[in-house]
Structure 1
Amino acid sequence: MTALTADQMARVKATAPVFAEHGATITKHFYKRMFAAHPELKNIFNQTHQQSGSQPETLARAVYAYAANIDNLGALGGAVTHIAHKHASLNIRPEHYPIVGRHLLGAVVDVLGDAVDQPTLDAWAVAYEQLANIMIGTEAKLYEGASWSGFRPFKVMRKQVESDEITSFYLAPADGASAGGFEPGQYVSVTRFVDKLGVDQPRQYSLSDAPHGKWLRISVKREAGRGEAQPGHVSNLMHDGVEEGAVVHVSAPMGEFTLDRKKTTPVVLMSGGVGITPMKSMLSTLIAERSKREVTFVHACRNAKVHAFRDFLRHAVSEYPNVKRAVFYEEVGASDRQGVDYDFEGRIDIGRIEADVLLPDADYYLCGPVAFMREQREALVARGVDASRIHTEIFGSGML
């Protein structure tokens, strides 16, 4: 690998403001250009994110961050790990990186033209090679530790409705072998052919059970589409087109948002909506391991109709003295029983549950909409919780 010279590093860093201003234009053109030359890559990239513009915008931010920190790549450590897990779950391989690099640099030339000179382009070529090697090396370690390679056929052995929006799928390996292990909090990618798009589409779903090797369980929210948001292609296919006995193709579990099972200190699990799925896996694992750790399960949802795993949580609290809960309903129905179905009306307010969540040396796991996680994180930090003990899961675009 060619090393970046001091001049090249300075040139890359100097282009960071350009990506701040023109990055989304460049990355949108990049995807259009790459898909025209390699239409088979549409099977890897989320086409809904392409249409909404979220994928190009995320890539633009990633390129900006890389350029701005080219002289201090240690600052990108968390982002590199996060993206590597996403890549590995999508089966991104070393041969994909030269394709991306060629069309990304080509898009820079197409959009900026004479505004970028050849020495700067040469610097970016070396910088991209450096980044590609970092990603390839990180992903290689993930593949080495994975339970299997690529997408593996699983048979749907059971389909269970959890709420008006969420349905669980119990997936057993089609070959009858072990389903393998995973860390609670991890996710898998499931790929389905979408007729409307004419391509396979992967989607990532958190595992929602404890690891035991017999099956994997994912719990899928039907994305009906609201406002400007389009209905979810794959989630609707899963709900309406995948029945018991069907075969789906699944990646090995990935994800760095995982429960630290070695600790004995308290755990606070905070979720909003479908963000409950990895929390269900974490709590199920603690119960299966007969952990004595103090656990507080905090969950928010719109109403009882969309409250998944309600019976499970109620049973866990009644059977295990170390497990507490705080369930918030934005809309309380006439038949909803406070203390049984829910605990508080309204949105999560940590001020109302401080005694149960502000625990010495606790670790906090947050999953839900980005605004929800940001709000809870800020509320915890404001009350003296060390940010290093707050862990979040963010799904979405992250492809380099």
Structure 2
Amino acid sequence: MLSEQSVTVVRATLPVVGAAIGDITERFYRRMFTAHPELLRDLFNRGNQAAGTQRQALAGSIAAFATHLVEHPDQRPDEMLSRIAHKHASLGVTPEQYPIVREHLFAAIVEVLGEAVTAEVAAAWDEVYWLMANALVAIEKRLYEEAGDPGWRQWEVVERIAETADVVTFRLRPVDGGPVAGFRAGQYVSVRVELPDGARQIRQYSLSGAPGAGAVRQISVKRVSGEAGTPDGEVSQHLHARVEEGSVLELSAPYGDLVLGDVADRPLLLASAGIGVTPMVAMLAQLAEDGHGAPVTVVHGDRSPADHALRADHEAYAGKLPQAAVHFWYETDAAGSDARTGLVDLREIDVPKDTRAYLCGPLPFMRVVRTQLIEKGVAPADIHYEVFGPDLWLAQ
């Protein structure tokens, strides 16, 4: 992996680069979007750029990768790379874009750190960058080959279902009538839409239907409303306001690595909050189809029963499993149901130590659940998670 000489240089300069990484990534994006405005218009999430979360995610991934190389120079952080590569593949990232990123990233590093970036320092960090970039290119190439056709495909909305006041399910069928490849429970697709200003923005949505649902894809979209100075979700607002039965959307092939592995005899825990329920419903559907007989603990938190999207499916699929235990928490209006009032709390829930856990929801929720699972003896390696949007977990 990283050469011995570069390990020494990166270890010595990592505190300086790490302290300045936020400023570096801010300047990097500004430089790159000035030189290549089409990337912001048609590839990067403009909302995340406005909120600064994309910068945080990039800074976190660079710092995490460099730290791993220094601490484990003969190993590769495969889980992190896989998550990034799946997201890149769903966006259609190409190998030709990596030199563009490198050019503007290193220019930003020199801008911020100045004379501290000697030839030796530049060479070491260049090695870090290309180790990460080449690993991602290789993984993405394999993902594209597995997908068959990595390009965009047109899908017609054949049904629109209002799940809650802010969540709509779209069921789609390919316009060309051609075959539809299968997907794994927990995966997502990218949806590309043309907005009124001509931008073609892309967002990822989990496939919320059963994996064996034939030629129909199903996604459930939460309308994102801005708060605390953040903008409304451009694409989710567009889908809610403008997309009806008969509308045509562009979808990518399915991607994502938060998928059920070999779980034949393993106790499982599927924990979600809010719209994080979507991949968990697909996983429950798969487990029910497979006749999974081991214990499954189903955990979900929401604002209220009325805000719990796909609740009927959530309960129905869990009900088909012989050893499923369902635990719902609602912040309000839980009275009169079997749910608890308040936030998700696993302290009184029985969780076997050999449980394999899958988490999806807001970052604070996943932090709490992960901590409580570890306190119960669940191995950190058995706790898997999905983040909607930039992976800010890495940034911290």
TM over 0.5: yes
Query: 2:103 is matched with which residue?
Result: 102
Distance 2:129 2:322 in 1: 53
TM alignment of 1:329-348, pairs within 5 A: 329-332=330-333, 337-339=336-338, 343-348=339-344
Query: 1:351 is matched with which residue?
Result: 347
- The structural deviation recorded for 1:109 is 1.8
Distance 2:264 2:314 in 1: 22
- The structural deviation recorded for 1:4 is 6.3
The letter of the residue matching 2:9 is: R
The letter of the residue matching 1:279 is: M
| Cα pair 1:271 1:300 within 8 Å, conserved | yes
Q: Residue 109 and residue 269 in structure 1: after superposition, are their counterparts in 2 closer, same or farther (change >3 A)?
A: same
Q: Residue 227 and residue 13 in structure 1: after superposition, are their counterparts in 2 closer, same or farther (change >3 A)?
A: same
| Cα pair 1:19 1:63 within 8 Å, conserved | no
Aligned sequence identity (%): 39
| Structure 1 residue 203 corresponds to structure 2 residue 203 | yes
- Residue among 13, 16, 22 paired with 1:15: 13
- The structural deviation recorded for 1:5 is 5.0
| Cα pair 1:13 1:69 within 8 Å, conserved | no
Q: 1:171-193 CA distances to partner (integer Å, 9 max, x unpaired)?
A: 21111122211110111111112
Which stretch has the larger CA shift, 30-39 or 108-117?
Answer: 108-117
Distance 1:317 1:279 in 2: 10
Q: Residue 128 and residue 24 in structure 1: after superposition, are their counterparts in 2 closer, same or farther (change >3 A)?
A: same
Distance 1:23 1:387 in 2: 28
Query: 1:366 is matched with which residue?
Result: 359
Distance 1:317 1:5 in 2: 50
Q: Residue 293 and residue 28 in structure 1: after superposition, are their counterparts in 2 closer, same or farther (change >3 A)?
A: same
Q: Residue 315 and residue 397 in structure 1: after superposition, are their counterparts in 2 closer, same or farther (change >3 A)?
A: closer
Secondary structure, aligned partner of 2:347 = helix
- The structural deviation recorded for 1:285 is 1.3
- The structural deviation recorded for 1:127 is 3.2
Q: 1:210-254 CA distances to partner (integer Å, 9 max, x unpaired)?
A: 112321111111112223332111111111111111111111111
The letter of the residue matching 1:345 is: T
Secondary structure, aligned partner of 1:70 = helix
Distance 1:386 1:303 in 2: 31
- The structural deviation recorded for 1:77 is 2.2
The letter of the residue matching 1:132 is: A
What is the aligned length?
Answer: 389
Q: TM-score, normalised by structure 1?
A: 0.90
| Cα pair 2:284 2:318 within 8 Å, conserved | no
Q: 1:24-47 CA distances to partner (integer Å, 9 max, x unpaired)?
A: 111111111111111221111111
Which stretch has the larger CA shift, 372-381 or 7-16?
Answer: 7-16
Q: TM-score, normalised by structure 2?
A: 0.91
Query: 1:159 is matched with which residue?
Result: 160
TM alignment of 1:177-326, pairs within 5 A: 177-195=178-196, 198-212=198-212, 213-318=214-319, 320-326=321-327
- The structural deviation recorded for 1:320 is 4.8
| Cα pair 2:160 2:244 within 8 Å, conserved | yes
The letter of the residue matching 1:12 is: V
- The structural deviation recorded for 1:386 is 2.1
- The structural deviation recorded for 1:262 is 4.8
Which stretch has the larger CA shift, 386-395 or 365-374?
Answer: 386-395
- The structural deviation recorded for 1:261 is 5.0
Runs of 4+ in 1 over 6 A off after TM superposition: none
| Structure 1 residue 51 corresponds to structure 2 residue 55 | no
Q: 1:304-330 CA distances to partner (integer Å, 9 max, x unpaired)?
A: 221112222343455554333111111
Q: Residue 390 and residue 65 in structure 1: after superposition, are their counterparts in 2 closer, same or farther (change >3 A)?
A: closer
Q: Residue 317 and residue 283 in structure 1: after superposition, are their counterparts in 2 closer, same or farther (change >3 A)?
A: closer
Distance 1:296 1:22 in 2: 43
Distance 1:83 1:8 in 2: 24
Distance 2:20 2:352 in 1: 46
Q: 1:327-386 CA distances to partner (integer Å, 9 max, x unpaired)?
A: 1111016xx6313xxx212212223332xxx13633221111111011011111112222
Secondary structure, aligned partner of 2:164 = coil
Distance 2:215 2:204 in 1: 20
TM alignment of 1:58-97, pairs within 5 A: 58-71=57-70, 72-73=72-73, 74=75, 76-97=77-98
Distance 1:326 1:398 in 2: 27
| Cα pair 1:190 1:251 within 8 Å, conserved | yes
Distance 2:128 2:374 in 1: 36
Q: Residue 166 and residue 111 in structure 1: after superposition, are their counterparts in 2 closer, same or farther (change >3 A)?
A: same
Q: 1:38-63 CA distances to partner (integer Å, 9 max, x unpaired)?
A: 12211111111111111112212222
The letter of the residue matching 1:394 is: V
Q: Residue 277 and residue 150 in structure 1: after superposition, are their counterparts in 2 closer, same or farther (change >3 A)?
A: same
Q: Alpha carbon RMSD of aligned pairs, Å?
A: 2.2
| Cα pair 1:153 1:247 within 8 Å, conserved | yes
| Cα pair 1:82 1:256 within 8 Å, conserved | yes
Gaps of 5+ in 1: none
| Cα pair 2:352 2:378 within 8 Å, conserved | no
